[in-house]
Structure 1
Amino acid sequence: MTATPLAPEQVHALGPAAQGVAGDAASPEAVKKLSRQIAGSGLKTQKKAVERLRAALAAIRSKDFALGAQRALEALALNEKNGVAWHVLAICQEKAGNLAQAIQAYEAALQLLPNETDIAHDLGRLAQQLGYLDIAEKLLLKYLNANPGHIEATNNLACVLRDQKRYGDAVETLRGLIALETGSPILWNTLGTVLSDQGDLATALTFFEEALSLDPGFAKARYNRANARSPLGDTDGALADVEAAMPGAESPYETAMMRMARAMLLMSLGRIPEGFEAYEVRLDRSIPDAMRVAIDAPRWRPEDEDIRGRRLMVVGEQGIADEMLFGTCLTDLVDAVGADGQVFIAVEKRLVEMFQRTFPTAVVGAHRAVKLEGRITRYVPFVDDLEPKLDAWVPMASLMAIYRSTIQSFPDRRGYLKVDPVRLKRWKAELEALGSGIKVGLHWKSLVLDGARQRYFSSFDRWEPVLTTPGAIMVNLQCGDVSDDLAMAEAAGVRIWTPPINLKDDLEDVAALSLALDVVIGPGIAGVNLAAAVGANTWMTTAPDDWHFLGTDVYPFYPHVRFFRRASYDWSDAILQIREALDQVVLAGNVRS
């Protein structure tokens, strides 16, 4: 599990994740078992190591995991081949939220004690959390081969299968054990997460309710019930559930994810800037995908320092859609720094020219990201040799709490990013050559469809009512391999024109083309955000619990966007509404809003 370059599409806005994984490596039962293992290895030559490990277990019992790790390291200094010491160290690091160090220690323990299946279970659970699903599956199967019918391990295997989108396998894994263990809230909860991932929230809700009826204090089930209640329209109930679940979180990771859900619910209810301030949890080191920034400068906090006349770096974060969304605050920041200061902006490399064109007094460059042991570290190499040095840096999304403290502080404007005028002229001519009819650009899915994300996107065949709109010429803006979808459309007699560019990488052309089109339609992915950010006529399909509305009936980040909000995760009505709207503009001959 080594460092790997991180493709930009792998980094997306964090959202609440279903909680199903069971087990606590530091439970009283686990600590007792470790204590027995330590006693069994108490040779005279290992006396000092045994003392250190017993002290480490005492620290675990008192939840002082930093001290526990220190004592385990002291034992390893005496004997680096002590597998139990590596296991104890791994537990302490995991409970402290040091997941990269924890996984290395678990691997070392398992290598030294290959027949200790408890280590395989602990490592498999952590590997699932970090997204190493193939590894997690193998480790959990290893444990279950030695401990068939184990509730926690079976449950965790079902979570891995769910995250691999093997929903049928996940259900079958749970079904047999639930028949034997009908009173297990853990299994009912995880069954609910499988249904939730598939978008069947009403059924999932019944399973979460069953888990809570068996154990009213089961924090995971209460948190998952919140994630089901929100898209079903009960945002206040969801917030109450999350806040009730938070004290029962079993790890720093669970605490952080619950705080993330709370932040989004606050924003959904229009409680700003409270929601934006709570959204700082996205940077919590307990979240494996949280961004870390490697910059030789302090973090800017406006309550501590006036930024006027200073040299400030803004670092884009998460996905490129988020950089365009939160970039709506950059004008405010440039004005606040003033002519005597300097703003530096680090964005995804495909956006550099566009942001530089839009903010000519700033210095814009590309950031780079590396994923190391499940954690994202972002670098800004274009300021490595900067003189004088930066005074401070700030994550881009953190500007929201500063400059968008009320709905009224969102500017009423049609986009803010500036396209290349030469490209715009070219694409207008290209579209004109396609013939008469309104030109409709279409997106329909994300490049990242892990877990619950897929319920936010529709299959291509459901778009047939839109694709067959008389008087409309469809233009493919969907990046990635969509050859099967386009072949399906062609076989049905639908004309879809694909522009001769790389729709993933040539964002300058995609932006200009989007502005040249009569309308761009799709879910809130990067390409649709790009269209909205440059002021294109944008129609967005949105989830019922999309927090970006901030408790209003408009889309404050892009107030000119026309949105089609789905009921729950049923796409049928929204797509039919889009078709009706297209028929109207074809009839009127003018799509511009």
Structure 2
Amino acid sequence: MARKSALETSASALPHQVEAGAVAVHRGTIASAVGDSTSAEALARLQRAAQETKNAEHAKALSRAVQAVHLRDYPKADKLALKLLEKDERLGLAWHILAITREKQGDFASSLGAYEAALRLLPDHGPVAGDLGRLAFRMNMPEIAMKFFAHYRLARPDDVEGANNLACALRELNRESEAIEVLKGALTAHPEAAILWNTLGTVLCNTGDAAGSIVFFDEALRLAPDFGKAYHNRAFAKLDMGDVEGSLADCELAMKLPDSAEDLAMMRFAQATILLALGRVAEGWEAYEARFSPALSHAPLFQIPGTRWSGQDLRGKTLMISTEQGLGDEVMFAGLLPEILDALGPDGSLSLAVERRLIPLFKRAFPTVEVTAHRTVSLEGRVYRSAPEIEDWERFDYWAAIGDFLPSLRPTVASFPDRDRYLTADPERVAHWKAELAKLGPAPKVGLLWKSLKLDAERGRQFSPFEAWRPVLETPGVTFVNLQYGDCEAEIAYARETFGVEIWQPPGIDLKQDLDDVAALCVAVDLTIGFSNATINLAGACGAAIWMITGAAAWTRLGTDRYPWYPQTRCFIASQYGDWTDAMQEVGGALAALAAER
């Protein structure tokens, strides 16, 4: 058997189903892989290849299949391609047509297999590589997509589509400088290509340069005044700069000019978070339902039977709730649970599905609630959430995603309760950590959080470079405690070598997996400082003192200068993403004052 090419190996690596963990829906820029396997150019190319097929009978059948694709009769094209492959399984063009029809019908798994076969058999890999790259990108696999797009560009170095798609994949891999080089070369040859200016803007936005990105979105809109994506992306940049009203205006323009159902769904979700950032809470929650739009490829699809709750009286009912979004959101939205239990009353009952690591913490806080684990799976480009440990679904009157209760229970900022906590850290573990911390001396113990585990191109800009922590870390009279999960050895070594500061590593705890113990440690320290991530939400929910560093228009502040979800929070607000200097100086000054008082 011949050895597989690198391209074929990449295609084989595309997973059909993977455990997705906690998946959050984030407002983001829109600049994705472009092109269509059924475009006029692509179909003309397929038709030429069909006509050049030496076997006249095969050529006729292939032409009919291409015509069926042109008419969007994908089932017919599928059948014609399969009949041909029954006669000759080495007919590469038939495999390519089959791959296209399966992709268009949403059967990504068999589409991938068909594309792999086409790669093995067709002499011209370029078109197949482009199609496969777009499918991989759609399935949130930018590393693999990048390889296919790079191959596509070898065959078509001057192609706008190829440059755009490769730059998009590089951006998602946080390889922004390479993406910029690709786009600069393409724009030299095609300065009229609005799509390239738009993608260049998204690359800059992801580096935190919102002001710089607006220049490129403006140019894209000058060239193409009806370019909805560019309006959306300019709204994104304006929000990062704290211009929330301007952001909403651009978002509403974008919603009039979507290129696809998915674009419109992203725009609607962005509108929801912008309204919330403006403090228009009731309107924001109404629009927030967009997070579950079927057109949004990364929105979770709940595999839960029964009737979804839609405002019915819950007194005496049996209710199943699944938490939603990422791990931090699961904890943050759990503040609704005390009121939900009140609504159910003593004769009602609640079953709750949470991320498995949260089960001990939730069981302790809500002893009358049945707490199980949800399961989140990524399958063929979509995310599915279920509650596999629940067997008897007939016992529930309703099910709900926990965010369904936001419009009724949190319609205004004033409706957020001024409670000290709603989750309870393990008292024994709190005492253990207090004893360990006492061994470090009398100075205040300050936990630090500086990043999220998922620092993709979209989320990475929401966190400062570690160097920006200098004013905080050089504060005298403070003992710093590492609460940051994930790989952070480099940052801890940098603090030691550059700032002369030792960040204490708590022994015997996995800061990513042992969330019940993490919550206890957050309560044991005197203060936790950081950006919004899963751990700081655990600290806030358990009533620990937190100082949160946020961007100018973080929607979770709901248009205030505080954090309504955790009333004990003190917020330090940057003027815009990418410029953390003043906020960090303010944190450093406040910490020095706190240390002096102690």
TM-score, scaled to structure 2: 0.89
Deviation at 1:472, TM superposition (A): 1.3
Question: Which of residues 491, 504, 519 in structure 2 aligns to 1:497?
Answer: 504
Name the residue aligned to 2:8: none
- Closer, same or farther: CA 111–244 of 1 in aligned 2, 3 Å: farther
1:370-401 Cα distance to aligned partner (Å, 9 max, x none): 222333222323212x3753333212222212
- Closer, same or farther: CA 377–387 of 1 in aligned 2, 3 Å: closer
Unaligned runs of 5+ in 2: 1-13
Question: Which of residues 58, 72, 76 in structure 1 aligns to 2:77?
Answer: 72
Deviation at 1:289, TM superposition (A): 2.6
For 1:551-562, what aligned pairs fall within 5 Å after superposition? 551-562=559-570
Opposite residue 555 of structure 1, the aligned amino acid is Y
Query: Contact conserved, 1:95 with 1:251, CA < 8 A, in 2?
Result: no
Q: Distance in 2 between matches of 1:224 and 1:299?
A: 37
Deviation at 1:227, TM superposition (A): 1.0
Question: Which of residues 524, 542, 546 in structure 2 aligns to 1:516?
Answer: 524
- Closer, same or farther: CA 223–350 of 1 in aligned 2, 3 Å: same
SS of aligned partner of 2:229: helix
Would you say 1:379 and 2:363 are equivalent positions?
A: no
After alignment, is 423-432 or 91-100 more displaced? 91-100
Would you say 1:563 and 2:585 are equivalent positions?
A: no
Would you say 1:333 and 2:340 are equivalent positions?
A: yes
Name the residue aligned to 1:456: 462
Q: Distance in 2 between matches of 1:581 and 1:187?
A: 44
Query: Contact conserved, 2:526 with 2:545, CA < 8 A, in 1?
Result: yes
Name the residue aligned to 1:6: 19
Question: Which of residues 173, 178, 182 in structure 1 aligns to 2:187?
Answer: 178
Question: Which of residues 135, 153, 165 in structure 2 aligns to 1:156?
Answer: 165
Name the residue aligned to 1:23: 35
Opposite residue 544 of structure 2, the aligned amino acid is A
Question: Which of residues 324, 335, 340 in structure 1 aligns to 2:331?
Answer: 324
Deviation at 1:172, TM superposition (A): 1.4
What is the Cα-based RMSD across aligned positions, in Å? Answer: 2.6
Q: Distance in 1 between matches of 2:572 and 2:449?
A: 14
Question: Which of residues 191, 197, 203 in structure 2 aligns to 1:194?
Answer: 203
Q: Distance in 1 between matches of 2:320 and 2:160?
A: 49
Name the residue aligned to 1:63: none
Deviation at 1:34, TM superposition (A): 4.3
SS of aligned partner of 1:563: strand
Deviation at 1:547, TM superposition (A): 0.7
Name the residue aligned to 1:62: none
Q: Distance in 2 between matches of 1:216 and 1:240?
A: 15
Deviation at 1:249, TM superposition (A): 2.9
Unaligned runs of 5+ in 1: 60-67
After alignment, is 369-378 or 47-56 more displaced? 47-56
Opposite residue 146 of structure 2, the aligned amino acid is E
Would you say 1:407 and 2:420 are equivalent positions?
A: no
- Closer, same or farther: CA 219–521 of 1 in aligned 2, 3 Å: same
Q: Distance in 2 between matches of 1:101 and 1:285?
A: 21
Query: Contact conserved, 1:321 with 1:530, CA < 8 A, in 2?
Result: yes
After alignment, is 374-383 or 158-167 more displaced? 374-383
Q: Distance in 2 between matches of 1:46 and 1:392?
A: 56
Q: Distance in 1 between matches of 2:59 and 2:296?
A: 37
Deviation at 1:324, TM superposition (A): 0.5
Would you say 1:507 and 2:515 are equivalent positions?
A: yes
Number of equivalent positions? 577
Query: Contact conserved, 1:13 with 1:322, CA < 8 A, in 2?
Result: no
SS of aligned partner of 2:281: coil
For 1:338-349, what aligned pairs fall within 5 Å after superposition? 338-349=345-356
Opposite residue 456 of structure 2, the aligned amino acid is D
SS of aligned partner of 1:383: coil
- Closer, same or farther: CA 331–373 of 1 in aligned 2, 3 Å: same
- Closer, same or farther: CA 203–173 of 1 in aligned 2, 3 Å: same
Name the residue aligned to 1:168: 177
After alignment, is 567-576 or 126-135 more displaced? 126-135
Question: Which of residues 67, 81, 96 in structure 2 aligns to 1:54?
Answer: 67
For 1:199-348, what aligned pairs fall within 5 Å after superposition? 199-295=208-304, 297-303=305-311, 305-348=312-355
Query: Contact conserved, 2:30 with 2:263, CA < 8 A, in 1?
Result: no
Question: Which of residues 377, 381, 400 in structure 2 aligns to 1:394?
Answer: 400
Query: Contact conserved, 1:97 with 1:252, CA < 8 A, in 2?
Result: no
Deviation at 1:152, TM superposition (A): 0.9
Q: Distance in 2 between matches of 1:261 and 1:387?
A: 34
Deviation at 1:537, TM superposition (A): 0.5
Would you say 1:447 and 2:459 are equivalent positions?
A: no
SS of aligned partner of 1:300: coil
Opposite residue 260 of structure 1, the aligned amino acid is F
Opposite residue 396 of structure 1, the aligned amino acid is I
Would you say 1:577 and 2:591 are equivalent positions?
A: no
1:267-303 Cα distance to aligned partner (Å, 9 max, x none): 21223333223222222333333222333x2241324
Query: Contact conserved, 1:16 with 1:260, CA < 8 A, in 2?
Result: no
Opposite residue 403 of structure 1, the aligned amino acid is L
Opposite residue 406 of structure 2, the aligned amino acid is M
Q: Distance in 2 between matches of 1:291 and 1:178?
A: 37
Deviation at 1:95, TM superposition (A): 6.0
Deviation at 1:220, TM superposition (A): 2.1
SS of aligned partner of 1:177: helix
- Closer, same or farther: CA 512–535 of 1 in aligned 2, 3 Å: same
- Closer, same or farther: CA 50–18 of 1 in aligned 2, 3 Å: closer
Opposite residue 254 of structure 1, the aligned amino acid is D
Would you say 1:135 and 2:148 are equivalent positions?
A: no
Deviation at 1:256, TM superposition (A): 2.4
SS of aligned partner of 2:180: helix
Opposite residue 75 of structure 1, the aligned amino acid is L
1:392-425 Cα distance to aligned partner (Å, 9 max, x none): 3212222212322222322121221111111122
Q: Distance in 2 between matches of 1:191 and 1:388?
A: 52
Q: Distance in 1 between matches of 2:113 and 2:400?
A: 31
After alignment, is 363-372 or 99-108 more displaced? 99-108
After alignment, is 222-231 or 33-42 more displaced? 33-42
Opposite residue 153 of structure 1, the aligned amino acid is G
Opposite residue 442 of structure 2, the aligned amino acid is S
1:151-194 Cα distance to aligned partner (Å, 9 max, x none): 11012111111222222211111222212222221221222111
Name the residue aligned to 1:64: none
Deviation at 1:525, TM superposition (A): 0.5
Deviation at 1:459, TM superposition (A): 2.5
Query: Contact conserved, 1:201 with 1:228, CA < 8 A, in 2?
Result: yes
SS of aligned partner of 1:238: helix
Name the residue aligned to 2:552: 544
SS of aligned partner of 1:345: strand
Q: Distance in 2 between matches of 1:387 and 1:292?
A: 18
Would you say 1:429 and 2:435 are equivalent positions?
A: yes
Q: Distance in 1 between matches of 2:96 and 2:317?
A: 48
After alignment, is 197-206 or 49-58 more displaced? 49-58
Q: Distance in 1 between matches of 2:205 and 2:335?
A: 33
Name the residue aligned to 1:351: 358
Q: Distance in 2 between matches of 1:92 and 1:249?
A: 25
After alignment, is 17-26 or 449-458 more displaced? 17-26
1:449-505 Cα distance to aligned partner (Å, 9 max, x none): 111311111222321221121221111111122222222223343132211111111
After alignment, is 14-23 or 45-54 more displaced? 45-54
Name the residue aligned to 1:419: 425
After alignment, is 349-358 or 11-20 more displaced? 11-20
Opposite residue 379 of structure 1, the aligned amino acid is S
SS of aligned partner of 1:365: strand
- Closer, same or farther: CA 559–167 of 1 in aligned 2, 3 Å: same
Opposite residue 170 of structure 1, the aligned amino acid is A
